[in-house]
Amino acid sequence: MARSDWRRPASHPYEEGCVRRVRMTVAYDGTGYSGWQHQRNAPSVQAEIEDALYRLTGHSVTVVGSGRTDSGVHALGQVCHFDLPDERFPAVVFKRALNAFLPPAIRIMDSEETNDSFHARFSAMAREYRYLIKREADMTPFDSGRVWVVKELPSLELLKAHAAEIAGTHDFTTFTAAGDMCERRHRDIYVSDFSVEKDIHGAEVLVYTICGNAFLYKMVRSIVGTLFFLVLGGVPATETARRLAARDRSQAGRTASAHGLYLSRISFDEKEYEWFEHLHPSMEMPSEDREREDSDDEA
């Protein structure tokens, strides 16, 4: 969908009774949490931060995140905002003060003053995820719950060829898990690529990087699992293209573990991916579908 069709208001009003907005970047180990968003009878990252804010300020506030990561999924660059009814605390104080209340698995990386022109979810232009995979033989005690563990790593060249089929504007119904509530399944994928990196111990880590305007329910993990096992079997990249075009959930393979997935970065730069529309002309959408879907839920 062309960015001109993203119906974004110029401002996002403060919560009733509030006079200011604070923006924060958050990192967290999602192993012990049900995800970012509030869940009944289960711990969430959002609830932990809201509780810490209440203990610090005495106000019950709603923390709005850029992406609602699923249970067990991690983040290095989650962005959120909250509104406050007073100006007692300078924005820069929240990083240090909230970290004193939060568990070690959740860290505020920065905090700054913003205004009603910014909204953590609706101002986001792109969301980037990284998925980490390691060989079982290379695992250390510090990798548990933080990577997807496999017996062997398949061909990097073939992985990159399969990943290239994901880039562009597509209907991602094939890679959407049951339970997704979005009516429109088209998404713009700016980056889809595999690389091999070294961890701090010198072991190889297979990294899948994907960046797009938004994501569907468990979409990234479904893509990773499907591509990985297709490549492990030596299947050519045309098979990924065929399965994607089929728009059929039964064509997807195994969904990869939540442990390897990280929300790595949120981009608010309107110019960063402007080139995309020139390389991938937008698909024509029915007028009733042109309201942008910001559902990057539990990717």
Over its C-alpha atoms, the chain yields an Rg (Å, rounded) of 20
Rounded CA gap, 240 and 165, in Å? 7
According to DSSP, the residues that pair with 80 across neighbouring strands are 24, 65
CA-closest candidate to residue 263, choices 129, 127, 145, 105: 129
Q: How many C-beta neighbours within 10 Å does residue 200 have?
A: 7
Annotation-wise, does 129 bind a ligand? yes
Under DSSP, is residue 216 helix (H, G, I), strand (E, B) or coil? coil
Q: How far is CA 109 from the centre of its chain?
A: 17
Q: Please, are residues 251 and 174 in contact by the beta-carbon 8 Å criterion?
A: yes
Active site residue 138: no
**The dihedral of CA 214, 217, 221, 222: what is its sign?**
negative
CA-closest candidate to residue 105, choices 54, 36, 53: 36
Which region, left, alpha or beta, applies to residue 54 given φ > 0 means left and ψ of -120 to 50 means alpha?
alpha
CA-closest candidate to residue 84, choices 94, 74, 75, 76: 94
From 29, 70, 138, 297, the catalytic residue:
70
Pairing of strands 168-171, 64-65: unpaired
CA-closest candidate to residue 36, choices 12, 57, 62: 62
The annotation places the binding site at: 129
The annotation places the binding site for substrate at: 129
Q: Which residues are catalytic?
A: 70
